[in-house]
Amino acid sequence: MRLATWNVNSIRARVDRIVDFAVREHIDVLAMQEIKCKTEQFPFAAFEEAGYHVEAHGFSQWNGVAIASREPISDVRTAFPDMPGFAKGHEGPDAPQEARALGATVGGVEVWSLYVPNGRALGDPHYDYKLHWLKALEEYTRSALAANPELPLALVGDFNIAPTDADNGDPSVVAGFSTHVSPLERDAFAAIEAAGVQDVVRPLVPTGFTYWDYKQLRFPRNQGLRIDFIMGSQALADGVTGAAIHREERKGDGPSDHVPVVVDLDLEPVDDDDRPMFW
């Protein structure tokens, strides 16, 4: 299975480019974030004509997530347990949920397309929302893997966190003063790792950014951030045979400000008892 994640920054603005990438790179499962449309506005036909099943979850021109797969998609969920919501001027546990998570089972893998809240600014209510959201994701990850330690679990998407200083090449993002690099956000990312998942791309692609702001020539200057990840349980990590960050997708006409992150998986079980016996 070739699994990819991509913050597409408006699916309707880039559908031809995205489908072309998926077909050209033989992507089996593509998790998308920031589709920026209602579910019924998603360009399903373009993906279906290319041989993909699609599930999408979106409410408006903001946020939104989707999964396209060459294999059937089952067990679709639009939130993980206790995922908090957010609305301006609306605080408390009953705040409406945003379209930031889509979970499904594809080829035996539990895949979550995740668009973690941005946080906006330290001290902003959206920053607290981000931390609560990450805490709920940590708790779900821990409980899911406690219930099934052999589960191939993939948490993929735009985490809006640069977990290490090496993941931050943007001079406007300053540790201690900016979201994405604050100690609490990095601690939250580490807590999700401690719950049982790991960055399955970094061992094969140790350096490289996945996002560059459109302003200030950030891309040609390579002043980016590594904030898009494929986090996998041990069962998933054991099957990784290749990985790539497709930097070239930031070039050309009308690119997203993010690029795809891809892993190759070989999750075929090997059972000695199933081998033929000879006498």
Torsion of CA 181, 126, 10, 214, to 10 degrees: -40
Is 129 annotated as catalytic? no
HSE-CB of 221 using CA atoms within 13 angstroms: 13
Of the residues 129, 140, 158, 228, only one is catalytic, namely 158
Please classify residue 34 by burial: count the beta carbons closer than 10 Å to its beta carbon, then call 0-12 exposed, 13-18 middle and 19+ buried. buried
Residue 230 and residue 30: Cα distance in Å, rounded? 12
Is 94 annotated as catalytic? no
Is 20 annotated as catalytic? no
Of the residues 28, 53, 115, 127, only one is catalytic, namely 115
- Is 82 annotated for ligand binding? no
- Is 91 annotated for ligand binding? no
- Is 25 annotated for ligand binding? no
* DSSP letter, residue 169: -
Contacts of 126 (CB under 8 A, 6+ apart): 86, 117, 118, 119, 120
Of the residues 53, 132, 180, 258, only one is catalytic, namely 258
Quick one: how far is CA 64 from the chain centroid?
A: 12
- Is 158 annotated for ligand binding? yes
- Is 26 annotated for ligand binding? no
CA distances 73 to 70, 105, 202, 230, Å, are 9, 6, 27, 19
- Is 53 annotated for ligand binding? no
DSSP result, 80-112: -TT----BTTB-STTPPPPS-EEEEEETTEEEE
Q: Tokens 């809240």: give the residue.
A: 117
The answer to whether 141 touches 155, Cβ cutoff 8 Å, is yes
Residue 231 and residue 100: Cα distance in Å, rounded? 16
- Residues belonging to the binding site for Mg(2+) are 7, 34, 158, 160, 257-258
The residues annotated as belonging to the active site are: 115, 158, 258
- Residues belonging to the binding site are 7, 34, 158, 160, 257-258
